[in-house]
Structure 1
Amino acid sequence: MEIASKTAIVTGASSGIGASFSKALINKGAKVYGLARSTDKLNQLKEHLGDSFIGVKMDITDHDNIQQWIGTTFNTDHRPEILINNAGLGRFGDVDKLPLDDWETMIKTNLSGVFYMCRQIVPLMKENKNHCHIVNIASIAGKIGNPQLSGYNASKFGVRGFSESLFKEVRYDGIKVTCFYPGSIQTKFFSDADTESHSNMMQPEDVAEVLINILETPDNFLINDITMRPLNPKHPDEQ
């Protein structure tokens, strides 16, 4: 895909790898609709990225709002070619102690939100004469289960299965589907999980560079799964 002049949607765009994805796409000449819940963070990002970034306040767990926004934003003359389903969160704890709200929030955000976006965007991509690309951001936790991560694992394993099915469903419509399985990235995600982030984690801009490489593959060439990890994941102070 030639990214220049393409229209992209990035969920969870206001910080972390979502902000890096948005910047990388704009640097390649794309127009980016960045979806997030924080208007302030979106406005700050727009100041940095310029007019090619359009911030959209959106809760991706609300299917009706997604449907309304897509219906009023896109039409036969203006369709998105790129969808990056990046929004996600983690809540951790033993299965018998994990609050129900935490479980339901993870499933709605990490899994249902991906489905809601694809449900509305795929029909537009099917009508697009250009090849299109959907990238779903799962996690290494979508491949490997760990204690205290039952809910997060379940949601990300779900993204893995959804992505595999969607890839086979839409490949003959000229739509690529790629699922990312990143390990630890130095973002606010780990601070929210009461875990210290550090410089040996992957950097958001490096993950964004992988995204660009995936998007720029030839039209009849697909990388549907990609796993990435830090070579040395230990804290720099550890021996």
Structure 2
Amino acid sequence: MDLKDKVAIVTGASAGIGAATVKALLNLGMKVVGFARRQEKIENLVDNHNGKLFARCVDLTKSQDIIDGFAWVTKNVGPVHVLINNAGVAIASSVLTGQLETWQQIMDTNFMSYAIASKEAVKIMTENNIDGYIVNINSTIGYYDPWIPSNVMYRSSKIALRAMTENVRVELARMNSKIRITSLCPGVVKTDIISVNHGEQASEAFYSKFPYILSEDVANSVVYVLSTPQRVHISELIIRPTGEDFKQFG
């Protein structure tokens, strides 16, 4: 896919994997629109982007915000060629003691926003005869269970995302569409996701115990997936830190 001057949307673009992916796609010459609630953080990601970086304040737990965001991009930047679904929250919540509001936040962010954004992207790509690409940033937690009850809702959102991504792939195939979709599943990535939800001390303690990769490593994997020829469809890609063992988490 020739990506120069093509339009990419990255959700959860203000920090971590999303921010690193925005920078990587800008380096490919793409026009990149970041969706996040912290719009100003997206605007300050790079000093010189040659007018190719756009930031939109989008609450990814609100369906209409997402739909309106895609409409704005189509009108003001152009039809989307690449969608990177990356927004995510990791909040401890068990089934027996957790709060409904927390469950809803996890599922709305980690699963529903991906489904809504994918639907909008495919509609726009199809209308504009674009053989586009969707990358869903998932997690190896959707494959391996460390048996932590407080992690069940987060893990469930990732398992659901695996199933949804594969079903979208099948739907596209049955439509004879050349739009591709990938579930990209990193292991432990050092981001601010733990500090945001549990505090800086908890974050430092966690990353001191376990091997991790960096946001830039995931962004490089996104670039690799996008670089493959049209005949190649990487439906799932797992990347993890060397030496990762999920039994350590139990």
The TM-score normalised by the length of structure 1 is 0.90
Matched, 1:207 2:212: no
Deviation at 1:60, TM superposition (A): 1.4
Kindly indicate whether the alpha-carbon contact (under 8 Å) linking 1:186 and 1:204 is maintained by their aligned counterparts in 2: yes
1:177 to 178, 181, 191: 181
Look up the SS of the partner of 2:184 in the other structure: strand
Query: Tell me, what secondary structure is at the counterpart of 1:55?
Result: strand
Q: Name the structure with the higher helix share.
A: 2
- The answer on 1:21 being equivalent to 2:37 is no
Q: In angstroms, what is the RMSD of aligned CA positions?
A: 1.9
Contact 2:61–2:108 (8 Å) recurs in 1: yes
- 1:144-223 equivalences in 2 (<5 Å): 144-145=144-145, 146-147=147-148, 148-171=150-173, 172-191=176-195, 192-193=197-198, 194-196=202-204, 197-198=207-208, 200-223=211-234
Q: Which residue of 2 aligns with 1:33?
A: 33
Percentage of matched positions with identical amino acids: 31
| Residue type of the alignment partner of 2:223 | I
TM-superposed deviation, 1:195: 3.5
TM-score by length of 2: 0.87
* Aligned AA (2:67): Q
Structure 1: segments with no counterpart, 5+ residues? 235-239
Instruction: Indicate which of 222, 227, 234 corresponds to 2:238.
Output: 227
How big is the shift at 1:48? 5.9
Which 5+ residue runs of structure 2 have no aligned equivalent? 246-250
**1:195 maps to amino acid:** S
Q: Which runs of 4+ in 1 moved over 6 A?
A: none
In the alignment, the residues of structure 2 paired with residue 141 and residue 40 of structure 1 have an alpha-carbon distance, to the nearest angstrom, of 31
| Residues 23/37 of structure 1: CA separation in 2 closer, same or farther (3 Å cut) | same
Match of 2:105 in 1: 105
- Partner Cα separation in structure 2 for residue 233 and residue 136 of structure 1: 22
- Contact conserved, 1:21 with 1:208, CA < 8 A, in 2? yes
**Inter-partner Cα distance in structure 1 for 2:105 and 2:89:** 8
Aligned length: 233
Q: Secondary structure at the match of 2:45?
A: helix
Letter of the 1:26 counterpart: L
Distance 1:233 1:68 in 2: 40
In 2, Cα distance between the equivalents of 1:220 and 1:206?
A: 25
The separation in 2 between residues aligned to 1:51 and 1:150, in whole angstroms, is: 42
Distance between the aligned counterparts of 2:94 and 2:157, measured in 1?
A: 16
> What SS does structure 2 have at the residue aligned with 1:230?
coil
Residue type at the aligned position of 2:127: E
Kept in 1: contact 2:81–2:133 (CA 8 A): yes
Question: For 1:85 and 1:228, how far apart are their aligned partners in 2?
Answer: 17
